[in-house]
Amino acid sequence: MDLEIDRDLLSEFELQLDPKHPEACAVPTKVLGYGEISTVFEIGTGAQAQVAYKRMPIFETESELDGYRWIFKEYNKLLADVGLTLPRSTNGTVPGCDGSPVMFLAQDRLDPASIGNSVIHAVSAADTVRLITAVLGELSKVWDFNAQQDEVELGIDGQISNWAVGGFDAGDPRLEEKIELLYLDTSTPFIRVGGEEQLDPELFLRSAPSFLVWILRMLFLEDVMTRYYDFRLVAIDLIANFYKEQLPGQIPALVAAANDFFERVVPSFGIEPLAEKEIKSYYREDAVIWRLYLSMRKTDRFLRTTLTRKGYPFVLPGKIKR
């Protein structure tokens, strides 16, 4: 059965939304999660409350929407083809308050307790190692696919909050012998064809403050767009999440597990062993960049809503503990 969305509900939500205070919307609304660009909502009641909506106010033209719809659909298909399990998904577009299109990516809403960044706080340290090893196993399917292709190459953001554990019971937080994983975040479809990125990276600069766009384009855009095609960097990012989740004590065991996985399970990939020192350094640099970026976005919101009165379409998180 296809996932059904209510476009009338989404239209009403978009027209009523105050991005600075999203949960004060007249339409019943709950923020489920924040991304660097998009925000995930529960919108409405009844059956619609079982849908997770990712709001993406970054498009300006129908041709941009058509291009994104195609690559989003293709990315979901390819990830399923390589063997990843994905929740049901679809998308819909409604007019924003200024007339520009706002896309909503819709996905089955899963039990929040089953999402990876919640699971790691509930299970034992031994099960956490098993979970991360299972995630690496799923990720390796992407690089198995890439190794067999001449033209098409996939990337993936493997951070722990992008995975859900099938059948997880928060009342009995133990992982099954065979861990079933679902991959959640397909909203940034990383596909290269003949070495050329199919996703227009400029779309994702639209959420950046105008006074930072040039430096982000010059210094960081290529790094952000390429890191997810490198299995080693994806694994570093995955383990570095444990600093953000306030679980640094688990990192040594996870580094050892990852190195064992690379050596024993995928030796043909030739991945150099990870070191705790580089993961800590990676996280510190990443945390500083995103902390500064969020601060600048809040400044941009103030300037656009208070001084220029142009409005600000993006929903920003509050203070993030890192």
| pLDDT (tens digit per residue) in 256-283 | 999 999 999 999 999 999 999 999 999 9
H or E element at residue 215: helix 213-219
What tokens appear for 286 in the block? 């990443």
H or E element at residue 72: helix 62-82
| pLDDT (tens digit per residue) in 51-78 | 999 999 989 888 999 999 999 999 999 9
Q: How far is CA 259 from CA 157, 232, 238, 301, 305, in A?
A: 19, 10, 13, 43, 49
State how far the Cα of 40 lies from the Cα of 100, in Å rounded to an integer. 20
Specify the amino acid at residue 17. L
Instruction: Please report which confidence band the pLDDT of residue 34 belongs to, taking 50, 70 and 90 as the band edges.
Output: confident
- 225 pLDDT above the threshold of 80: no
- In this structure, how many other beta carbons lie within 10 angstroms of the beta carbon of residue 104? 23
Average pLDDT estimate for 136-146: 98
- In this structure, how many other beta carbons lie within 10 angstroms of the beta carbon of residue 244? 19
CATH level 2 (architecture), domain 7-108:
2-Layer Sandwich (3.30)
Q: How far is CA 72 from CA 81, 227, 244, in A?
A: 14, 19, 28
What does the DSSP 8-state code read for residue 229?
G
State how far the Cα of 110 lies from the Cα of 207, in Å rounded to an integer. 27
Domain boundaries, the chain: 7-108, 112-307
State how far the Cα of 93 lies from the Cα of 56, in Å rounded to an integer. 9
Q: Are 182 and 86 in contact (CB under 8 A)?
A: yes
| pLDDT (tens digit per residue) in 246-256 | 999 999 999 99
By DSSP bridging, strand 29-34 and strand 101-108 are unpaired
What does the DSSP 8-state code read for residue 113?
G
Lowest mean pLDDT across 34-43, 119-128, 266-275, 305-314: 305-314
Average pLDDT estimate for 294-317: 82
Q: Are 242 and 251 in contact (CB under 8 A)?
A: yes
Q: Are 229 and 101 in contact (CB under 8 A)?
A: no
Residue with tokens 């690496």: 136
Residue with tokens 């298909």: 77
Sheet holding 89-95, edge to edge: 29-34, 39-43, 51-56, 101-108, 89-95
Collapsed DSSP state (helix, strand, coil) of residue 104: strand
